[in-house]
Amino acid sequence: MAELTYLQAISDGLRQEMRRDNRVFVIGEDVGVYGGAFKVTLGFQEEFGPWRVIDAPLSETAIVGSCTGAAIMGMRPVAEMQFADFISCAWDQLVTVASKQFYRAGTPVPIVVRLPSGGGFSGGPFHSQNPESSFAHIAGLKVVCPATPEDAKGLLINAIEDPNPVLYFEHKHLYRRIKAEVPEERYTTPFGKARIHREGEDLTVVTWGAMVYTADEAAQQLEQDDVSVEIIDLRTIIPWDRKAVLDSAQKTSKVLVLHEDTRTGGFGGEIAATIAEEAFEHLDAPIKRIAAPDTPVPFSPPLEKAFIPQVDDVVAGLRELAEY
């Protein structure tokens, strides 16, 4: 085991796969000479050469389109968007072409698109979004949102192995703030299998990505009031672990769904609907959602703090549920 940051774990998993499989290559803006916008691929071009670590022009459409073509021809490309926000430029290639190719022709399209996402550093409306729900709606895509260094590595390796297009949302706020023990050997973390981040008996929080830590801080405060909170880290939202969520809902009877994406159309609505449909008789309170408001992400630090769900917001929501 080695102690790695979230960013180092991503880099370690990618490097291991490139050493293991010559079909794996990286393409993106400044991924080679510069080492990527956040230095995930620093030193990769020196080790693997410019034909496997490709500095692309400023065109997300060209990056995803070339990955799709390469994948159809048997390669396993990993594309980096400098920021998740920019994936909208490649919508047509990803949603119209890559996601539907297997359905249309039976041809696997094993591409991974790495998406540095999320706010917390005053990046403003074009560098801070969490657009995962936009792609959760698209059949043929898988959507991954790791919260821990161990999962960041294992989910990335599994994504590279997967025969489908995978959107890999890596939260920028976690890059250098979260550090943990990570196995040095190669391993995979399965899609659609949630992780019980914290066991509890009274309330359930369902979340993913950076919000896992917001929920954990809130749960620690509730513990002082003798309220036990269970935290389900989904890890992936397509596919998502319905059984783990429903089992926890049935156990605690009170559920809060938390995510950093905007509220309307957010994936929390799908989770809440599923619980209401399949576990309604087990509930002792309405399902509660906490999410960002339906606005662009503000640049101003105080406004951004008001936009992103905070620990105090979750504490208030949990106390409301506990008292219901």
- Helix, strand, or coil (residue 171): strand
- The neighbour count for residue 58, using CB atoms within 10 Å, is 11
Task: Annotate 85-152 with DSSP letters as a single string.
Answer: GGGGGGHIIIIIIGGGHHHHH------EEEEEE--SS---TTSS--THHHHHTSTT-EEE---SHHHH
Q: Which amino acid is at 281?
A: E
Task: Give one word for 72, left, alpha or beta, with left for phi > 0 and alpha for psi -120 to 50.
Answer: alpha
Helix-strand-coil percent breakdown of the chain, rounded to 5? Answer: 40, 20, 40
Active site residues: 127
